[in-house]
Amino acid sequence: MRNSIFPISIFSLLLAISCQEQVPKQEKTDEKTSRQETYNVYLEIKEYETKKLDIYTVKADYSGDTTFIYDFKVNFFDRDTISAVMTGDTGVIVENQGFMEAKGQVKLATPGGDSLLSSTLIWNQSSNIIYSPTESILYKNNKVIRSTGLESDPALRNIKFRGKVYVE
């Protein structure tokens, strides 16, 4: 029975919403008020009680088991230690498939100083692989490596390049 259940055992959503109301100083002729809201959303994916990633986002929309995130930061973990941090403009998380896709200006950085820039990064939870189907720029070991696609673990230790590769 355990093998038939997809690897995501818990996808807990801890929603911390804080709203700030700011009313600018009004002149006597302007009776309208301005309302500005800020949302801080925290998501945590666990597998068999081992933390896999934390997601911090400015805004999140939900539809079934799909979560849409905006202006986000993701901490990837390897045995309770952050192995990489990904930031991006927009993202989609599909819980029952163990899938996350980040789009826009996406950056993945490791504590060791390596980083990956791309317009699209896809994370597959079951294999713990980051995949970029688009042009990517990898900064590793004082080298700049451009490729038309690659796949790697989130910590950028085991990298496989796809398509054309250029080293600067």
Candidates 35, 45, 37; CA nearest to 67 is 45
CA distance 107 to 130: 12
Note the pLDDT tens digit of each residue in 37-71.
Answer: 444 455 555 554 555 778 898 888 988 889 999 99
**Position 14 pLDDT exceeds 80:** no
Tokens, residue 93: 């998380």
Give pLDDT tens digits for 106-165. Answer: 999 999 999 999 999 999 888 889 999 999 999 998 899 999 999 999 999 999 998 899
State residue 8's pLDDT score: 33
Residue 115: the pLDDT is 96
pLDDT of the residue at 33: 36
Contact 159, 147 (CB under 8 A): no
Question: Which of 118, 140, 114, 112 minimizes the C-alpha distance to 130?
Answer: 118
Q: First-to-last CA distance in the chain?
A: 50
Alpha carbon separation from 45 to 74, 94, 98, 117 (Å, rounded): 11, 12, 9, 24
Cα 28 from chain centroid (whole Å): 46
Main-chain phi, psi angles of 70, to 5 degrees: -135, 140
- The CATH class, in words, for 2-20+37-130 is mainly beta
What is the reported pLDDT for 11? Answer: 33
Pairing of the two strands 66-78 and 129-132: unpaired
Q: Where are the domains of the chain?
A: 2-20+37-130
pTM for the structure as a whole: 0.70
Beta strands (DSSP E) in 35-142 are 40-47, 50-63, 66-78, 81-94, 99-109, 115-124, 129-132, 136-140
Other C-beta atoms closer than 10 Å to the C-beta of 86 total 23
